[in-house]
Chains A and B, each alone.
Chain A
């Protein structure tokens, strides 16, 4: 079974540009989460989808960040325009809606975003 896949693994952009990160969750996982780790600090929650609906977006830093999950499958996180402080590692995680594994979140390898 394929794990959580994130693309790209690394993105380098200039301040003011737009970047789109993609996450493919484990097949069948209705919960999808985005997290971010900035400069060696804590990994912080950004938002949570249940299928295609945003369940909780309380961690989104500002309106330059837009997350979508069309059709309840893969998700994208767009940063527009990117600022220097957006640099960090963006993690995606997924979990099933039901069953014994619903407490466990399975993480992707992350996308390292560098804004210059």
Chain B
């Protein structure tokens, strides 16, 4: 069975500092991996996805994530945090490419301090 863990339910960084949000997964088959972001009072927005192409994936708003099979990780990074990055971030895994449901991690709330 698939599962996703996100280390740290709450992460705080200073504006301009590196953002690192951790995601580890387990999957019995090569996974499809996603990061979604939820801003206050909004729905889940796709940040980026890994679907077996390049292991370093670039997403929107300057975020990127690297798929590391040996570590079963898909950590999300951004070189310089901005106040507008404050939100909740979810890592998700899906097996297969035909409409499989997602398994989500518990989410990490990112705070950006001035």
Contact = CB atoms under 8 A, between A and B. Distances in A.
Nearest to B106: A42
Contact of B99 (A4, A40, A97, A109): A97
Interface stretch (A12-20, A43-51, A62-70, A75-83): A43-51
Interface residues of B, number: 23
B67 to A, nearest CB: 14
Given A48-B99, A50-B99, A109 B104 contact: no
Interface string B26-44: 0000001010100001111
Nearest to A105: B102
B53 to A, nearest CB: 11
Interface residues of A, number: 30
Contacts of B32: 103
A43 B98 CA distance: 20
Given A103-B51, A107-B36, 6 more contacts: A43-B90, A50-B99, A95-B99, A102-B99, A103-B32, A110-B43
Interface of A: 3-4, 6, 31, 33, 35, 40-45, 48, 50, 55-56, 59, 91, 93, 95, 97, 102-110
